[in-house]
């Protein structure tokens, strides 16, 4: 399991996102985001080389507060062919130089997200070593395993969509919407799987919502 180091990171992750988020088509805030980290979880890379984090951030800069899901990977060297997905570089106090990528374009993150939906990977606490995150929920109702590789990543106004060779669609919700009530939200009726979790809203209340959905046929 991943070890969380108590050390400095320069620039910070939020500083990197402040510059990167306004370049995204699904971002609706101002050119100068006002970000707060309010939730998320991690996944382990089986090879122990790539850091995988799903970060939830609130942005107070726009006409109304918004919440975004930002999947990130952290690597010790550049990822070949992923220059377009580079969020930025940082200096980690223990690990040294780190390249941070939009995880939707990193095959390691996508493979582990597929494993999570399939029930073969366990979500980990965002800030505590060797601790499963029991608040992250997942489901998979399709008979076939979730594909480990997705070939394309297309940004829409609120999501990033990835497609596997067999036509399976994986949609990551970039703009998060709280589900009504206190229970874990249900995925759309056409979904064959989902991942959901909590975050803290700008007013201090807790919310839950769907982070990702899996479709084997019709889209919602």
Q: Is the dihedral of CA 12, 14, 19, 23 positive or negative?
A: positive
Q: What is the pTM of this model?
A: 0.91
Residue 187 has pLDDT above 70, yes or no: no
pLDDT score of 217: 63
Q: What percent of the chain has pLDDT over 90?
A: 73
pLDDT score of 183: 52
Contact 72, 101 (CB under 8 A): yes
Residue 3 has pLDDT above 90, yes or no: no
Kind of pairing, strands 193-200 and 206-215?
antiparallel
pLDDT score of 77: 95
- The DSSP secondary structure of 30-53, one letter per residue, reads -SS--EEEEEEEEE--TTS-SEEE
- Tell me the sheet residues that pair with 75: 99
Residue 188 has pLDDT above 70, yes or no: no
Residue carrying structure tokens 């180091």: 5
pLDDT score of 220: 41
Secondary structure (3-state) at 6: coil
Mean pLDDT in residue range 21-36: 95
């Amino acid at each position: 399991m991943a070890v969380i180091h108590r050390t400095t990171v320069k620039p910070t992750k939020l500083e990197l996102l402040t510059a990167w988020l306004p370049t995204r088509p699904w971002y609706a805030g101002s050119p100068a985001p006002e970000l707060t980290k309010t939730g998320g979880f991690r996944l382990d890379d089986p090879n122990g080389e790539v850091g995988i984090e799903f970060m939830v951030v609130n942005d107070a800069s726009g006409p109304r507060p918004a919440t975004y899901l930002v999947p990130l990977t952290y690597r010790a060297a550049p990822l070949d062919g992923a220059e377009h997905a580079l969020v930025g570089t940082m200096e980690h106090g223990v690990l040294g130089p780190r390249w941070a990528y939009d995880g939707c374009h990193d095959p390691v993150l996508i493979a582990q997200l597929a494993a999570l939906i399939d029930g073969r990977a366990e979500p980990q606490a965002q800030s505590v070593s060797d601790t499963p995150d029991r608040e992250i929920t997942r489901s998979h109702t399709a008979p076939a395993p979730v594909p480990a590789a997705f070939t394309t990543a297309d940004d829409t106004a609120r999501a990033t969509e990835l497609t596997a060779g067999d036509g399976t669609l994986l949609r990551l919700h970039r703009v998060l919407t709280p589900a009504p009530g206190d229970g874990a939200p249900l995925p759309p009726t056409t979904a064959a799987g989902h991942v959901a979790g909590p975050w803290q809203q700008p007013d201090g209340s807790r919310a839950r919502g769907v982070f990702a959905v899996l479709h084997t046929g019709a889209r919602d």
